[in-house]
Amino acid sequence: MDIGVIENIIKLTHIFNNIKVASKPHVCNILLKLDMAIIWIDVWDLQNSLLAKKIINRSFNTRSFIMTVRSANMNPGIP
């Protein structure tokens, strides 16, 4: 999937209103035979993560994709 398409989906999806993406999305294909991927995005938020908490575990449909937002631990040492 093209990074530009992912960025447009994020901009146009209502659950991302008021959410600032801090870096370009990173796509990680799980298996080449599957049409499933993990897309990592960094969200710029307050120390208590109030905005991010509103989108975690939310699902949405766009085009032919079903997407679910999950949280991940921060890894400040990994770019």
Find out whether 39 and 29 touch, Cβ atoms under 8 Å: no
Token couple for 32: 């080449």
Q: Which residue has the tokens 């990074």?
A: 3
Token couple for 18: 């008021």
* pTM for the predicted model, two decimal places: 0.63
Residues 46, 78: Cα–Cα separation, whole Å: 20
Query: 21-71, pLDDT tens digit by residue?
Result: 888 888 887 666 777 778 888 877 766 677 778 888 888 787 777 788 887
Residues 18, 52: Cα–Cα separation, whole Å: 10
